[in-house]
Structure 1
Amino acid sequence: MDGGSGLNILYANTLELLEIDRSRLRGDVAPFHGIVPGKRTRPLGRIDLLVCFGTPSNYRKEVLTFEVVEFGGAYHAILGRPCYAKFMAVPNYTYLKLKMPGPNGVITIESTYEHAYDCDVECIEYAEALAEAETLIAHLDQLSSEVPDSKRRAGAFEPTETIKLILVDPACPDNRALRISATLDIK
Structure 2
Amino acid sequence: MGYDTASLVPSDQAFYGIIPGAASTRVGRATLPVTFGARDNYRTEYVNFEVAEFETSYRTILGRPSPAKFMAIPNHTYLLLKMPAPKVVLSVYGDLQTSYACEAKNIELSDTLERSKNTVLVAQEAKNLPADQQQISTKESTSESQLTPAVATKTIVLRDNEPHKTVVIGASLDSA
Which TM bucket (shorter chain)?
0.5 to 0.7
The TM-score, its normalising length taken from structure 2, stands at 0.67
> Do structure 1's residue 54 and structure 2's residue 37 form an aligned pair?
yes
Q: How does 1:143-182 map to 2 (within 5 A)?
A: 143-145=126-128
Alignment match, 1:109:
92
> Do structure 1's residue 122 and structure 2's residue 105 form an aligned pair?
yes
- 2: CA distance, partners of 1:24 / 1:52: 20
Alignment match, 1:91:
74
- Identity, % of aligned positions: 37
- Once the two structures are TM-superposed, the CA of residue 21 in structure 1 deviates from its matched residue by 1.2
Structure 1 moving runs of 4+ over 6 Å: none
The gaps in structure 1 that reach 5 residues or longer are 1-12, 149-187
**Number of residue equivalences:** 131
Q: What are the Cα deviations for residues 88-107 of structure 1, in whole angstroms up to 9, with x where unaligned? A: 11100011101111111111
Q: Say if 2:24 and 2:53, in contact at 8 Å, map to a contact too.
A: no
Q: What are the Cα deviations for residues 13-52 of structure 1, in whole angstroms up to 9, with x where unaligned? A: 2xx1xxx311211124522232232344321111111111
> Secondary structure in 2 aligned to 1:105?
coil
Alignment match, 2:168:
none
Structural RMSD (CA):
2.0
RCO (CA 8 Å, sep 6+): is it higher in 1 or 2?
A: 1
The TM-score, its normalising length taken from structure 1, stands at 0.63
Q: Say if 1:101 and 1:107, in contact at 8 Å, map to a contact too.
A: yes
Q: How does 1:59-98 map to 2 (within 5 A)?
A: 59-98=42-81
Structure number with bigger Rg: 1
> Secondary structure in 2 aligned to 1:36?
coil
> Do structure 1's residue 43 and structure 2's residue 32 form an aligned pair?
no
Alignment match, 2:163:
none
- 1: CA distance, partners of 2:90 / 2:11: 33
The gaps in structure 2 that reach 5 residues or longer are 132-176
Alignment match, 2:9:
26
